Structure 1
Amino acid sequence: MGLRREWQTGGATTYYERSGNHGGRRSGQGDSTGGPFPERSAEDACPTLVIEAGYSESLQRLRNDMQWWFSASNHGVKIVLLVKFDPRRQEILLEKWEEEPRGQRPGAATTRSMGSLAPVKRQTVTITKDPTSPDTYNVARGALVLSFRLLFLRDPNPGEGDIVFSIQDLEEIAQSVWRALPRS
């Protein structure tokens, strides 16, 4: 797609809440971040994508971090990808989270605004190491798809589209991850 110049990786950069006084703001550091360039290149700009990975952290802790990213960025973060490694189960769990307007309250007038945004889990992918065959992985629930519009904050041009990590891509990533993890 030729988007390398339009994407800026933030790595494990520290970001601060976009509200509150400067001295009292909480900070967060995703395991990897990124956003469109130059739209989100300012020093205090938030990324559109945050990846939170956990080996020793619980899935609930990662989900709390996800909620913090959406809230602290004043909803500037568009996708949070959670990656939970479970060495005991030989499993990698991927959860893709986005936000959508909260549903209207029962009985509210239809002319009112939808109100605030709420995190919604859009996709779950489970990658399991095959115990009978080294370096073989089973990917459940298909390819991982990241919305072009949410990542780049614009509609795709001809030849551009959603970012798709195929089953083969996910198997290769899993292989790299398991090789890097401590042996149990």
Structure 2
Amino acid sequence: MSFHSDQTRGIQKQYFESLGLLIIKIALKTHEQVTCHLYHRIHRQATLMENVDNKLSSTGSARYQPTRTIYSSSGKEADKGITPHNRRPDPQGWPTLISESGISESIARLHADAKWWLTQSNFQVRAIVLAHIQVAELVIDIKIWRMHKVQQHRPPTIAGTEYEPKCDQNGHLHIDSSTIPATTVGTLPLFVFTFDDLVLRGRNLDEGDFALNYYDIQSIARVFLTSI
């Protein structure tokens, strides 16, 4: 059975051809509901902006091939993603926003996922929302990753400014769902995305950037608790 031949709900796969390694991630109920609700809270903001959601689609279980490796058979699936309709003619159709969650995964594994999407999409993926779910502690750590300019003390390379994938300086929110309402450590609202980067067009006067506010976080915490 090939990497591309089987699509099963709740299962995401990543294949490294050079290593002959296939990683399979099975989404448990908690994982799936938290991921979907994170996506819903962002998508809801698009709906409130004069139905901007009609310009966006969910990636579903689409698989993506890397653009920066010779191993064309390598690939990865997102937990959840958003693709603007004006990118549809592209056969690859990379999403602009990816959401990745993990329960049993280490935070290092999630960071590796974020780096893969940001580097292998050739800058087409603009931001990653990572959710590290710790069921026993009733905690969710949300981090926002994107490409940042490399801080260097020498002139840029001949190719221009260098970039690297990393977490935003204020892009980390710790959610403790053991209290009602949930308590947080970090900056609220948590900035996720500019309108231009998500929709790939300039915004109108009644449109704005995307962020997770207090009510979004409380909603995510409630979904988390009911899914355990």
Report the TM-score range of the alignment, normalised by the length of the smaller protein.
0.7 to 0.9
Matched residues in 1 for 2:210 and 2:217: separation?
A: 13
**Counterpart check, 1:149 vs 2:190:** no
Task: List alignment gaps of at least 5 residues for structure 1.
Answer: none
The question of whether the paired residues in 2 share the 8 Å contact of 1:101 and 1:114 is answered with no
**Corresponding residue number in structure 1 for 2:182:** 137
> What TM-score does the superposition give when structure 1 sets the normalisation length?
0.85
Matched residues in 1 for 2:200 and 2:176: separation?
A: 33
How far did residue 11 of structure 1 move?
2.5
Amino acid in structure 2 at the alignment position of 1:116: E
How far did residue 154 of structure 1 move?
2.4
How far did residue 56 of structure 1 move?
0.8
Task: Provide the identity percentage.
Answer: 23
| SS of equivalent to 1:5 | helix
Residue of 44, 55, 58 corresponding to 1:9? 58
More helix by share: 2
Q: After the TM superposition, which segments of 4 or more aligned residues of structure 1 sit over 6 Å from their partners? A: none
**Corresponding residue number in structure 1 for 2:93:** 45
Residue of 99, 112, 121 corresponding to 1:64? 112
**Corresponding residue number in structure 2 for 1:29:** 77
The total of aligned residue pairs comes to 175
1:34-183 equivalences under 5 Å are 34-40=82-88, 42-104=90-152, 106-108=153-155, 114-122=160-168, 123-131=171-179, 133=180, 136-141=181-186, 142-146=188-192, 147-181=194-228
| Cα RMSD for the two superposed structures | 2.1
How far did residue 35 of structure 1 move?
1.9
Matched residues in 2 for 1:43 and 1:34: separation?
A: 16
Say which structure, 1 or 2, has more relative contact order (CA 8 Å, 6+ apart).
2
> What TM-score does the superposition give when structure 2 sets the normalisation length?
0.69
